[in-house]
Structures are given as structure tokens and as C-alpha cells.
Chain A
């Protein structure tokens, strides 16, 4: 079945930091799920969010739009939305859109946690 590989899991680091693990394709079919999860984390009052992209092998503009749309609110609330270990193919889409410089990109969850602390 198309699109069934997609899944999202959350990892609570502490009361202020949340890691969101994304698996599969981040496209026009799946992006809303991730957007909903991030908006719910905001509603919990958590704005330090790391998105683990190491298992995302494809992203389209719909997926990138989630990060564009949530990055600003996270920053404005004293946090950040950072990307963890994205594949080259995902970074290339950010480059095509000209938004690579917008995001802090780190190699590991430990690095993401250190960035927030």
C-alpha cells in the first residue's frame, strides 16, 4: 500500500526538549501528520524540538513547508526547530528551495540536546 511506511515517534528528553523521529516519505500525503504532531508539541508549551530525519529518504515541498511553517513560531517562543542527520537527498531539496541556511542541522540527537542546553 502506498505511503504505509510513514511513521512518527516522539522522545521526551526532558520537560523542555522533544525529539520527533520521522520515518519514510515526507510528501503531500504525509506532511499533515508531522505538522499536527509539531503543533501539538507547541500546545504542550515545548518549543525546543529536534526532528530526526535520518530515516526520511524523500521529501517534497509539502514536507519542507512543515519546517518553514513551524521554525519561526519555535524561535519566537524561545526555542528552535532543528534538523537531525538529514540524508543528502533531503538536503538537496532544501538547497533547491534556498532555505538551507534557515535551519540548524546537527548530526546526532546528543548534538541536538547539547544545542538546546
Chain B
């Protein structure tokens, strides 16, 4: 298989498939140049992205009713994920980082996934066509300095 080939996985909007998602990410990243510690982080970031879609984009739907599509690729320089859903528009790039002291003081249990996703990935981009599709793009570079060479990079990154 060419190393740049995109791998595709479609799962229902149900958290019980997160394990399937994680196994899929491991398969894709295994053939890349990422060290093991980064592999674990990438798995976590994609898990958090998919969890966020299930909890926010499809909060009005029953579990398993609609699909989330993942397209992943990894090569010698980077890992890239495109995650598509057709749920409620929810832009994770517009969410502020949590105040961790407040989080801990108030015992708040949620709202850390997007923060983790941004901590791990070099690029997090979101776009949507209202009511049609939401697209999340996550990129991590083997060498983080390569982020500046990203062909799709927005000025705000």
C-alpha cells in the first residue's frame, strides 16, 4: 500500500465505537515515522475529536442513528485526519481553553477534550456547509516546524 494512501472508516454516532476509532488510528500511524509517545497522543486527539462530534453535533440524535466518517493518512512527515459529520455545526476552534484552576476548584468533569486536541495537534481547522457537512482537519507533523509549510495553512494558525 502506498504510504500516502488515505484510509477511511465510517462509524455510527455511538461512543462504543471509540475503541474501533483508536485501533484504526494506531493502524494508520504505525506505518509512519512518529515515535510511540506521539502515536499515543494522536490516538487521544482523534478520540477527543470524535467524542466531541458525538456529544455536540449529534446531541439531538439517538446513538447509532447517523454516521461519522474518518479519513486518515500518515507518512514520513505528518499525520492528517479529516473527520466529516452532518450534525449540528459546532466549531471547536472557537472554544476558549479551559481555566484549569477553575475547572478543578469547581469539580467540572467535562470540557477538556478540545483543549487536549489542540495541545496535541499542530493544526486544527474546521469548516462547515450549514446543514450539509462539517469538516474537521487535524494535522500533526513529525517535525513541528513543518507546520509553517502546510499548503492549507490559514494565517490565523
Distance (whole angstroms) from the CB of B89 to the closest CB of chain A = 21
Which residues of A sit under 8 angstroms from B41, Cβ to Cβ?
92, 96
CB of B16 within 8 A of CB of A29, answer yes
Please state if A60 and B47 are interface contacts (CB–CB under 8 Å). yes
Chain A residues positioned under 8 Å from B18 (CB to CB): 2-3, 25, 27-29, 60
Residue B104 at the chain A interface, CB threshold 8 Å: yes
Q: Which residue of B lies closest to A59 (CB)?
A: B44
Pick the interface stretch among A11-19, A44-52, A61-69: A61-69
B51 touches A2 (CB 8 A): no
Would you call A114 an interface residue if the criterion is a C-beta within 8 Å of the partner chain's C-beta atoms?
no
Whole-angstrom CA separation of A107 from B27 in the bound complex: 32
Within the complex, the shortest CB–CB distance from B147 to chain A, in Å, comes to 18
Question: Closest chain B residue to A64 by CB distance?
Answer: B112
Residues of B within 8 A of A71 (CB): 104, 107
- How many residues of chain A get a CB closer than 8 Å to chain B's CBs? 29
Residue A54 at the chain B interface, CB threshold 8 Å: no
Q: A28-B51, A60-B51 are in contact. Are A65 and B109 (CB under 8 A)?
A: yes
Q: Which of A11-41 contact B (CB under 8 A)?
A: 25, 27-29, 35
Contact B113 A62 (CB under 8 A): yes
B104–A99 contact, CB under 8 A? yes
Interface string of B1-43 (1 = CB under 8 A from A): 0000000000000011111101000000000000001001101
How far is it, in angstroms, between the C-alpha of A61 and the C-alpha of B51 when the chains are bound? 10
Most buried by A among B18, B47, B119: B18
Q: Which residues of B contact A105 (CB under 8 A)?
A: none
- Mark B residues whose CB is within 8 Å of A: 15-20, 22, 37, 40-41, 43-44, 47-48, 51, 54-55, 100, 103-105, 107-110, 112-113, 115-116, 119-120
Q: Which residues from chain A sit less than 8 Å from chain B, CB to CB?
A: 1-3, 25, 27-29, 35, 58, 60-62, 64-66, 68-73, 89, 92-93, 96-99, 102
Q: Which 6 A-B pairs have the closest CB atoms?
A: A65-B109, A69-B109, A29-B15, A61-B112, A2-B19, A28-B51
